[in-house]
Amino acid sequence: MKPSRPPTLASMLLFSAAFLSIAEVGAQETPANTELQPLVAVVPVWTTQDAEPFAAPLASALLRELAAAGFKTEARSGAQNDTESDSALAAALSSGAKARWAAVARCEMDGRRLVWRASVYDALDGALIASDSQGAFPGLSALPLLERSAASVAREAWGQRGRVIPGEPLEYRLRFRSRNEGATVAFGTGEGGREAGIIEGGELLAPFTAFRAGEPVVVTVRQEGYWPRTSLFRPGTEDKVLELPRLMPRASRMVSLGISTTRLLGAQAEYRHFLSDDAVFLRAADSLWLQYTFTPGSVPVLHNEVHLGAGAYLFLPRDSRFRMAVTTGFSGIVTLAFPGDLADKVYFDATFDAFSLSLEWHTPGTWMFFLEQRYPYSLGLDSGLLSRGWVQNDGPPMILTAGVMRRW
């Protein structure tokens, strides 16, 4: 909200004169919603001549504060009017100006006391969305109070600028369909949620609830062994079955099978034990592969890597389809060479995975998919074949592993 500047009396009086020189407000039909412009038409109204000098300053303050709040504004001519209600005036004003909102700055005398009311109406449905009413001694001391009223109304109206027309009350009971048999469905979330029933035979007919068409309906589904899931529906006037998304199972264990770019003649199997469901885990993996160059002189060399480490999922909720895990750990790689004349047939290398990133696509079903990038650093043991440093291959210094996972 931009800070408003205190108006001068001269400017207020000048603005009042401008209002008074404009034609009188007339009653017109409310235009279709699609024709409404996103602006506020402001009109001053007074019931007696004594109140007239204050109606224009109130309207002027409203214009200024509404503009400062972010509205586009348009000044309309005022008039003495002690018969029509503010809502009727607002409807006529919106219709004439094709303005989404209409602000009425009304002043009247209650004995020797000045009473005013600043109101903003939404032409979508004629609702009063902001209003402030006060009284004061009719003098210059009332002007700051008029400013405060205008500022208050402008703030309130800005907060309601995104409102939509409330829908028609639903005359049917919501029906849900779900593949989570036995899951509990509730309207709302947390403790304040109201139970709607249990999925039986894949469906649930919820008890009648007074929802309005187009309004958001928050539905929470819970089931033992699965992560609860909250969904948002906007049911229409037509009775349609609402499809509840499948719940994501909670996992405390996981196994995977994959194949790596630098180990295509082999496979990797991994087991994860979650210390916290779907969040923090320990891992043990084994990769077995043959090294072979498909040329006449090449003899396969067998490698087996045992990897132990820990990891955690980051950033995304635990029931997300797409998940990212970072891991770290150590590996020992045993190499077995077969040539008969080679005296040393067994070699041992050790590597350290400072950082590994696993991109995973989780599904509510049995199988999931993952893609892992590893950046092993070889310790360069004398017993091994790898030099000290980041392990190298023809491509970037990383190992890409892709495969499927299963969890329970």
Q: Which of the ranges 8-16, 91-99, 198-206, 298-306 carries the binding residues for another protein, by CB under 8 A?
A: 298-306
Tell me the site size for another protein, rule CB under 8 A: 45
If binding is defined by CB under 8 A, does position 385 make contact with another protein? yes
399 scored as a contact of another protein (CB under 8 A): yes
Q: Which helix (H) or strand (E) holds 52?
A: helix 52-69
Q: Is 228 exposed, middle or buried (0-12, 13-18, 19+ CB in 10 A)?
A: middle
- Using the rule CB under 8 A, is 269 a contact of another protein? no
For residue 384, the one-letter residue type is: G
| CA pair distance 344, 197, nearest whole angstrom | 69
* 8 contributes a contact to another protein by CB under 8 A: no
Helix (H/G/I), strand (E/B), else coil: 84: coil
Q: Are 4 and 147 in contact (CB under 8 A)?
A: yes
Q: How far apart are CA 329 and CA 57, in angstroms?
A: 73
- List the one residue from 83, 162, 294, 346 that touches another protein (CB under 8 A): 294
**Closer residue to another protein in complex, CB, 58/386:** 386
Q: Which structure tokens are listed for 29?
A: 């039909």
Q: Does residue 236 bind another protein (CB under 8 A)?
A: no
192 forms part of the interface with another protein (CB under 8 A): no
User: What angle in degrees, to the nearest 10, is found between the helix axes of 52-69 and 9-20?
Assistant: 100
Please provide the DSSP assignment of 228-276 as one string. Answer: -EEEEE---SS--EEEPPPPPBP-SEEEEEEEETTEEEEEEEEEEEEEE
Binding another protein by CB under 8 A: which of 26, 144, 159, 300?
300
Residues 6+ apart with CB under 8 A from 307: 270, 283, 284, 285, 286, 287, 329, 330, 331, 353
Provide the terminal-to-terminal Cα distance of the chain, rounded to the nearest Å.
51
Q: Is 233 in the site for another protein (CB under 8 A)?
A: no
> Is 380 an interacting residue with respect to another protein (CB under 8 A)?
yes
Does position 301 interact with another protein (CB under 8 A)? The reply is yes
Question: Contact region for another protein (CB under 8 A) — 151-159, 233-241, 275-283, 300-308?
Answer: 300-308
Out of 3, 112, 339, 346, which residue is the one contacting another protein (CB under 8 A)?
339
Mapped onto helix, strand or coil, the DSSP state of residue 67 is: helix
Instruction: Out of 252, 261, 304, 328, name the contact with another protein by CB under 8 A.
Output: 261
Task: Answer yes or no: are the C-beta atoms of 153 and 62 closer than 8 Å.
Answer: yes
> CB under 8 A: which stretch of 36-44, 53-61, 210-218, 338-346 binds another protein?
338-346
Identity of residue 378: S
**CB neighbours (10 Å) of residue 68?**
19
Per CB under 8 A, does 334 bind another protein? no
What's the closest the beta carbon of residue 160 comes to another protein, in angstroms? Answer: 24
- Tokens coding 14: 């000048």
Stretch that binds another protein, among 61-69, 77-85, 207-215, 380-388 (CB under 8 A): 380-388
In whole angstroms, the minimum distance from the beta carbon of 159 to another protein comes to 23
Is residue 325 close enough to count as binding another protein by CB under 8 A? no
Residue nearer to another protein on the CB measure, 330 or 361: 361
Query: Nearest-CA neighbor of 378 among 328, 332, 309, 310?
Result: 332
In whole angstroms, the minimum distance from the beta carbon of 375 to another protein comes to 11
Burial class of residue 77, CB neighbours in 10 A (0-12, 13-18, 19+) = middle
Residue 245 C-beta: closest distance to another protein, Å: 10
293 binds another protein (CB under 8 A): yes
Residue 47, CB half-sphere, CA atoms under 13 Å: how many?
A: 15
Residue type, 323: R
d(CA 55, CA 118): 10
- CB nearer to another protein: pick between 145 and 400: 400
Partners of residue 122 on adjacent β-strands: 101, 127
R_g over Cα of the chain: 36
Q: Judged by CB under 8 A, does residue 343 bind another protein?
A: yes
Kindly indicate which of the ranges 7-15, 73-81, 205-213, 291-299 contains the residues binding another protein, using the contact rule CB under 8 A. 291-299
Query: Rule CB under 8 A: is residue 299 a binding residue for another protein?
Result: yes
Among 127, 128, 310, 371, binds another protein (CB under 8 A): 371
The only residue of 264, 275, 280, 308 in contact with another protein, by rule CB under 8 A? 264
Which residue, 229 or 407, has its beta carbon nearer to another protein? Answer: 229
Q: Does 201 bind another protein (CB under 8 A)?
A: no
> What is the contact surface with another protein in residues (CB under 8 A)?
261-264, 291-301, 303, 321-322, 335, 337, 339, 341-344, 359, 361, 371, 373, 376, 380, 382, 385-387, 391-396, 398-400, 402
